[in-house]
Amino acid sequence: MSTEVKVPTLGESISEATIGEWLKQPGDAVAQDEPVCSLETDKVAIDVNAPVAGIMGDLLAAVGDNVEVGALIARIEDGAGAGAKTVAPRNEEEPAPKNDDKTAGQQSDVADAAVLSPAVRRAVLEHGIDPASVKGSGRDGRLTKDDVLVAAKARDSDSAITADDAAKAAPTSTSAADEDRKVERVRMTRLRQTIAKRLKSAQDNAALLTTFNDVDMSAVIEARTRYKDLFAKKHDVRLGFMGFFAKASCLALKDIPSVNGQIDGDEIVYHEFVDISVAVSAPNGLVVPVVRNADRKSFARIEKNIAEFGQKAKDGTLTMDDMKGGTFTISNGGVFGSLMSTPIINPPQSAVLGLHRIEDRAVVIDGKVEVRPMMYIALSYDHRLIDGREAVTALKIIKDAIEDPTRLLIDL
């Protein structure tokens, strides 16, 4: 007797996904609720869990196949020993482990597999890394994709040193040079395909324009330096720059409603709330989780939301609900060293704020040349809805609030 494994409900407006990885193969023992498959959607990776315990049966969809919600993708057969992960055959030269040790090892394997996100599992398989040999840097010591990549790089570096030593003693040949010119083709993930389509669609359909300004970060840096320890002690979260820019953006969006609006057919939709999409880097690409009602939240709550999203993105555990909606986006290319950029809007939104790196520059203050920590900021907007005067004014409001953070307290 077998039990069907079907594609679960994926979230609002998501009707299909792509098979990203089979975590179980036919013949593997499966525990109830254990992940057997990883699905890639337009936004996140989702695990498909086993509805019952048993033995993995036929796989009815291959990696890369597009499958609709409710589609039958596998079967789980009745069988004994369900719940223990199958163990690879041991080397005949190795002594057989004691029964107690074997049971403990199997349980440990299952526990380890359960806490690995789909992105981490994929990285582990691709690079041949033993998860138990890598110390996790994620929350509660969880393994992240970056941990796996660092471990793989360190291993490859060690191997390269050994290979170089051997090469010095071996005669050179033309085939060695050819080995350095390999070409690798990797299928685009569904998320990367969606990012590509959405960004191209934004360029094709919106009348994109970008306005720039620069901001003296002295006041914000001073405030962070003065209060960061007290803030962290009271709220258990770091006081970052993003909270200041989020609150400053809320002031601008309230004063210039079109920047917080969107075009829907032949109508303009104005939002009386501010849901800020914060662009963060995830293992499979850029994602934009949403800080909801940012205009009503405190600095601490905004910073906590952003920190939680950053950790979830790193672990590959962001959900559909985390990224649903959004009326305005903030993207911080400065964390990667960007000096200036023209960000692309996140449809159907009409504007995006781009932040960049802070660097000391000579500026004229009251007729004197001074060195100040400056940041270029950019506002890209849909000119079909937002006029140039409105865009420039909104960016100036953000600039003024950052340079004089008191404005954030008195709503000015």
Distance in angstroms (rounded) separating the CA atoms of residues 315 and 281:
11
Distance in angstroms (rounded) separating the CA atoms of residues 243 and 228:
12
356 is catalytic: no
Which of 156, 236, 255, 387 is an active site residue? 387
Distance in angstroms (rounded) separating the CA atoms of residues 117 and 129:
15
Distance in angstroms (rounded) separating the CA atoms of residues 1 and 347:
48
Distance in angstroms (rounded) separating the CA atoms of residues 221 and 359:
12
Phi, psi of 368 (to 5 degrees): -120, 145
Number of CB atoms found within 10 A of residue 294's CB: 24
Burial zone of 51 (CB within 10 Å; 0-12 exposed, 13-18 middle, 19+ buried): middle
Which of 165, 383, 400, 404 is an active site residue? 383
Number of CB atoms found within 10 A of residue 68's CB: 11
Closest residue by Cα to residue 314 from 75, 120, 70, 50: 120
Long-range Cβ contacts of 225-232 (<8 Å, 24+ apart): 231/299, 231/300
CA 298, 239, 247: angle at the middle one, nearest 5?
A: 40
User: At a CB cut-off of 8 Å and minimum separation 6, what does 281 contact?
Assistant: 313
271 is catalytic: no
Which amino acid, residue 259? Answer: V
- If you ran DSSP here, which 8-state letter would residue 357 be given? -
Distance in angstroms (rounded) separating the CA atoms of residues 30 and 33:
9
Strand partners, 170: none
Q: Where do runs of H (alpha helix) occur along 267-334?
A: 299-315, 320-323
Strand partners, 280: 287
The gap from C-alpha 239 to its chain's centroid, in whole angstroms, comes to 21
φ/ψ bin of 265: left (φ > 0), alpha (ψ from -120 to 50), beta (otherwise): left
Question: Which active-site residues does the annotation give?
Answer: 383, 387
